[in-house]
Structure 1
Amino acid sequence: MKKKIFFACLILSIVFSSCKKEEIKTVVNPAEVETNKNSFKITLTATVREDDNFQMYYSQDDYEAPYQEDNSVWVAVKASDKPQDIVFILPQDVIPNYIRIDFGTNEKQKEISIQNFKMNYFSKIFEAKDSLFFDYFIPNDCVKILEKNKSVVQNIQSEDGRYDPLFYSEKALYDQIQLLIK
């Protein structure tokens, strides 16, 4: 009987440890950030109070509508009462013209405070701190701006019951991307 319990525990521990390894693969590795210095990197610094998954779509054409799932990057976000960097690293040699940031899939998400938006390409950097974020992005109808001057937003359901909070980039961000890649 003890052997059966031992083997059952052993099998369960192998199964659960295998699942954990798969989950880790979806999170951006900080070492990977260092090795991909020539990759286009976008960092959103925000306070996200519930676990969630953010997604960033990118378009390499003048404007692709709708954005394609193949041209997106997912990042798992852990809940925190402190600002954290949500880092999207695009595939090597991909330079976006327009981007879209989806602010999560967790319908129980609380208010999100945006502290900074940053793009890096080689040694060049562009930043939009706090409410300047709204100069470069437009929310859809699933995002309510609670305090524009403090960059606080709330994900909501649209009138038709859809939950898909996201921000589309403006032409002003396209212009900043062009300056970064020159």
Structure 2
Amino acid sequence: MKKQLIFINLVLLTFFIGCKNKEEVAPVEEVKANTFDVIVDLQIQKDDELILFYKDPSIAYFDDKNTVYNGVKGNIEPQSLTFSVPEGVLPNDIRFDISSKKDQDPITINAITLRFEGRTFKILKGDILKYFTPNEFIKFDEATGIVTFIKNGENFDPYFLTKPAIYPEIEKVRGAQL
């Protein structure tokens, strides 16, 4: 009995010493860049690729270098797409390309949110036309938020451009003093 007790104490002592010498390693959290985000809440039936173009004061025109692509899987349920502008870039203007597929079904936009460093500005579907202008390939119903596409031969490039009313809101989200 005495030998068993000594053996058990020896095993427990070895276990505790072994555990004490091992360093506790805390899990490493992924640090995300603090980016300017444009979040689009929508319903889209078919897979597609949507594009956000952005400009800052140093960029005169929208171009392919300053874009964020976001592939989306079609789903009847609403979903959110987040377009994160690269870290360090604070846009002062955006353009939102709503579809790249000529056979896309109508898309419903429920809201568009601008977000940076905890500041947000949310545009609900009824106010989208206050801040954005659809181009000639889009018919937008502000009551329902439904975007239908207008085909014009081989040409197809549906997008929304900003209106001047959004610029002060972008500046507020960016944290600029007005």
Place the TM-score, normalised by the shorter chain, in its bin.
0.7 to 0.9
Matching of residue 141 in structure 1 with residue 136 in structure 2: yes
1:167 partnered with 2:174: no
In the other structure, the counterpart of 2:12 is none
Corresponding residue SS for 1:93: coil
CA distance in 2, matches of 1:167, 1:105: 13
Q: How does 1:115-134 map to 2 (within 5 A)?
A: 115-134=110-129
1:11-53: CA deviations, max 9, x gaps?
Answer: xxxxxxxxxxxxxxxxxxxx98x712x2101101110111000
CA distance in 2, matches of 1:63, 1:94: 11
SS of the aligned residue for 1:138 comes to strand
Instruction: Name the SS of the counterpart of 2:127 in structure 1.
Output: helix
1:76 to 54, 68, 71: 71
Question: What is the match of residue 94 of structure 1?
Answer: 89
Is 1:152 the equivalent of 2:149?
no
Distance in 1 between residues matched to 2:115 and 2:134, nearest whole Å = 23
Count of residue pairs brought into register by the alignment: 147
Kindly indicate which of the two structures has a greater share of residues assigned to helix: 1
Q: Quote the residue 2:3 is aligned against.
A: none
Pair 1:45–1:94, CA change in 2 (3 A)? same
Task: Supply the distance in 2 between the matched residues of 1:81 and 1:60 (Cα, whole angstroms).
Answer: 35
1:100-139 Cα offsets, whole Å, 9 max, x none, are 0001111111011110100110010110112211211101
Q: Residue 61 of structure 1: CA displacement?
A: 2.4
Q: Quick one: structure 1 residues 63 and 137, their matched pair in 2 at CA, closer, same or farther if it must change by over 3 Å?
A: farther
- Aligned residue among 64, 69, 73 for 2:60: 64
Kindly provide the amino acid, as one letter, of the partner of residue 164 in structure 2: K
Q: Cα RMSD between the aligned structures?
A: 1.8
Q: Secondary structure at the match of 1:61?
A: coil
8 Å CA contact 1:41–1:120 kept in 2: the answer is yes
Identify unmatched segments of 5+ residues in structure 1. Answer: 1-30
Instruction: Please state whether the residue corresponding to 2:75 is helix, strand or coil.
Output: coil
The alignment's TM-score, normalised by the length of structure 1, stands at 0.75
Superposition TM-score, scaled by structure 2 size: 0.77
Structure of greater Rg: 2
Q: Deviations over 1:130-174 (max 9, x none)?
A: 2211211101001112x321111112223x541000000111111
Q: Which residue matches 2:48? A: 52
Unaligned runs of 5+ in 2: 1-28
- Is contact 2:36–2:90 with CA below 8 Å preserved after alignment? yes
